[in-house]
């Protein structure tokens, strides 16, 4: 029952309105007193609640003395609500676009919350018209794997640098195997994730254990360029490591104090 009330509240009903309407679905026609008694809505508020339900067209009055009430059948109520919401969305979609200011390209959107950040990642992949570049870690890659495969099947080119996910394939996939993932994650304080769409838009996000994810998104051409070049460089370096050998590559930064700091973020000991 709590879940039903929660969902009805999303559609504009108060908690008391939800309880009164659900009670009338179960028991009707009944008086306002009976609705209060069965639903738990305080008697002092029941007629205000009933008035709001009448205004919404969710219930009707049955002529009697005293007055009794019956609900609009649930199927009809939901159909009406769906139609009203669709009309509102259509109106707002058209009207808000007309008054929306054209934003400068250097605007940076800031996001927080794992769910919101992942939603933006998926939205960017869905909006891609030609190609997507991404640098991503296995936990997040698992959540978009099917979507990426769908876009690849639709002809979108995807180039991915994947950290700690040797079993995953996200389009043209390259694996960050030339350095232990924990070194990179520790240096950056989390799992840095970058998504670039059509060389037009970039999202830079950070995921970390026991910490709320954050991200920034922009169409600023300078940041888009830097992000794509970052991923290109990682891919190229990974392929070069395969030719030279991982052991030799690691020997460079392990014995050179400056490179050691560049790679690990720590001073050479």
Q: Which residues of 126-156 are buried (b: 16+ CB within 10 A; e: fewer)?
A: eebeebbbbbbbeebbeebeeebeebbeeeb
Query: Quick one: tokens of 233?
Result: 């460089």
In this prediction, residue 197 has a pLDDT band, given cuts at 50, 70 and 90, of very high
Domains of the chain, residue spans: 2-76, 108-264
Task: Write the class of the CATH domain 2-76.
Answer: mainly alpha
- Candidate ranges 19-33, 86-100, 101-115; pick with highest mean pLDDT: 19-33
CA distance from start to end of the chain: 62
Comparing C-alpha atoms, which of 82, 104, 92 is closest to residue 218? 104
- Candidate ranges 64-78, 98-112, 152-166; pick with highest mean pLDDT: 64-78
Three-state DSSP state, 140: helix
pLDDT of residue 258: 79
Residue 253 and residue 260 in contact, taking contact as beta carbons nearer than 8 Å = yes
Does the structure show a pLDDT above 80 at 180? no
Q: What is the pLDDT of residues 10-68, one digit of tens each?
A: 999 999 999 999 999 999 899 999 999 999 999 999 999 999 999 999 999 998 889 99
In this structure, what are the phi and psi dihedrals at residue 196, rounded to the nearest 5 degrees? -125, 130
Three-state DSSP state, 203: strand
Residue 105: count other Cβ atoms within 10 Å of its Cβ: 13
Best CATH choice for the domain 108-264 from the list 3.30.870.10, 1.10.260.40, 3.90.1150.10, 3.10.20.30: 3.30.870.10
Does the structure show a pLDDT above 70 at 102? no
pLDDT of residue 226: 95
Does the structure show a pLDDT above 70 at 120? yes
Comparing C-alpha atoms, which of 235, 168, 159 is closest to residue 197? 159
- Identical fold at 2-76 and 108-264? no
pTM: predicted TM-score of the whole model, two decimal places: 0.59
Comparing C-alpha atoms, which of 193, 192, 200 is closest to residue 225? 200
């Amino acid at each position: 029952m709590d879940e039903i009330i929660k969902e009805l509240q999303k559609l504009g009903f108060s908690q008391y309105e939800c309880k009164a309407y659900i009670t009338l679905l179960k028991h009707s026609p009944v008086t306002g007193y009976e609705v209060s008694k069965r639903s738990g809505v305080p008697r002092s508020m029941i007629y205000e609640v009933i008035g709001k339900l009448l205004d919404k067209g969710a219930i009707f009055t049955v002529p009697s003395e005293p007055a009794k009430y019956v609900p609009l059948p649930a199927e009809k109520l939901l159909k009406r609500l769906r139609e009203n919401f669709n009309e509102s969305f259509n109106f707002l979609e058209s009207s808000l676009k007309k008054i929306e200011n054209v934003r400068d390209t250097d605007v940076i959107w800031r996001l927080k919350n794992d769910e919101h950040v992942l939603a933006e990642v998926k939205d960017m992949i869905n909006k891609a018209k030609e190609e997507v570049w991404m640098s991503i870690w296995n936990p997040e890659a698992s959540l978009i794997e099917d979507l990426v495969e769908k876009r690849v099947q639709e002809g979108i080119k995807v180039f991915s640098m994947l950290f700690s996910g040797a079993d995953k394939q996200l389009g043209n996939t390259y694996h960050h195997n030339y350095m232990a993932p924990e070194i990179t994650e520790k240096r950056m304080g989390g799992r840095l994730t970058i998504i670039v769409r059509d060389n037009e838009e970039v999202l830079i996000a950070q995921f970390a254990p026991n910490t709320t994810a954050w991200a920034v998104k922009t169409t600023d051409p300078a940041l888009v360029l830097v992000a794509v070049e970052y991923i290109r460089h990682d891919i190229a370096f990974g392929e070069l490591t395969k030719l030279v050998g991982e052991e030799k590559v690691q020997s460079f930064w392990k014995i050179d104090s400056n490179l050691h700091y560049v790679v690990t973020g720590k001073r050479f000991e």
